[in-house]
Amino acid sequence: MAESPAILVIGPRWVGDMVMAQCLLAALKELHPQAAIDVVAPAWAAPLLARMPQVRQRIEATTKPGSFGLAERWRFGRSIRGRYDAAYVLPGSWKSALIPFFAGIKKRVGHRREMRYGLLTDIVPLPEDLKRRTAQAYFSLARGGTFQFPKLTVDTENQAALLRRSGLESKKFVALMPGAEFGPAKRWPSEKYAGFAHAMMAKGLAVALLGSKNDAPVTAEIAALAPGSLDLAGQTRLEDAIDLIAAARLAASNDSGLMHVAAAVGTPIIAIYGSTSPQNTPPLTDDRELVWLGLSCSPCHQKICPLGHLNCLNTLDVSLVTAAAGRLLEKQAA
C-alpha cells in the first residue's frame, strides 16, 4: 500500500455499529498516518462521522437498505474507479462487497461471511467468538495497530447553546436513553426507567430523556410517570444528542446506539441488557456499569421475547440500576 493511501470503508447502517467502526478507523490511521479515509454511509451518519478525526469525508450510500441494486452499485463503483488503494468492507453481506469490486480497488478486505470469494482479495478469518463482538471484529480487519476505544469529538459551542435552550446545567443531569431500534427485547420497561428517574431526581439531579422520533412514545410514557423529567426525544439532531450526552453527569441506556455514543464521549454509562449480552457489545469505556441478569434463556438475540415473558428485563429491578448509578457517582467523587 502507498505511503499516503486513499482508503474506502464500506460502513455499517446502525448508530452503535458506526461508533464501533472507529476501532478500525483508528487502527488504520495508526498504521498509515497519512492515509485519507472515506466512509460510504447513509445521510444520517454524517454528523457521527464528522466527530471522528480519522475520517476525511462521508460518501453517500446511494442504495436503499435491503435492496440489491446491482446496476446502481455498478455505477457507483465505476464512478470512484482509480480513487482508492484499498477498501475495507464492514457489513457481512455479499452485495456490500460489490462497490469496491466494481471500482477495481486492488486491495479489498473483509470477513468471508456470505461466501465473498472473488469479491474480496483479503479475507480475514473471523473466529466464532468474534462473530457477535462487533468492535473487535471490525478491528481485526486492520491486521495490526492498537485496539482503541471509540472517541467522538464534542462541539462545545453547540453544547452550550443546547444546555441554555433546554434549561439543563452541565454535569447536573442524568441522560436516559430508553429506546432501542432493534426491538422490545432490548428495552427495559418504561415504569422501570421512571422509577430510576425518580431516584436520580431525589439525589438532586435533573433527568433528560433522549432518543429519536421513533423513541418518542416510550419517552412520553416515562415523562408521564416521572413528572419533572425533560423529554427531548425527537427534538434533537444526532449531533445534538452527542453533545448533550457529553454534558451529562452520567447516562443510563439499553443496549443501543446512544449507549455507544455515551461511552465515546466519556460520559459514565449504565448499560442495561436483556436479549443481548454485555460480553459481546459492551460500551467501550472504563467508566461503565453493566446491568444484566444473565438468565438461562438469555442472551437469545431476538427482537421479541420468544418465551413471551421478557423476564430478562421485566424482573430487572430498579434498585440494581440505582446501585450502579451510586457506584459511578462515588467513583466521580473519589
Which candidate, 172, 142, 148, places its Cα nearest to that of 52?
148
Question: Can you give the pLDDT at residue 40?
Answer: 96
Domain chopping of the chain, boundaries: 6-140, 157-333
Alpha-carbon span 40 to 137, nearest angstrom: 19
What CATH number should be reported for the domain whose range is 157-333?
3.40.50.2000
Residue 64's pLDDT is 67
CATH 2.40.40.20 fits 6-140, yes or no: no
The answer to whether domain 6-140 and domain 157-333 are alike in fold is yes
Q: What pLDDT was estimated at residue 117?
A: 83
Angstrom distance (rounded) from CA 332 to CA 326: 10
Q: Which three cell numbers stand for residue 257?
A: 446506539
- Residues of the chain short of pLDDT 70, as ranges, are 1-2, 64-67, 182
Cα distances (angstroms) measured from residue 238 to each of 150, 179, 198, 269: 17, 14, 26, 18
Q: How confident is the model over 158-214, as pLDDT tens digits?
A: 999 999 999 999 999 999 999 877 677 789 999 999 999 999 999 999 999 999 999
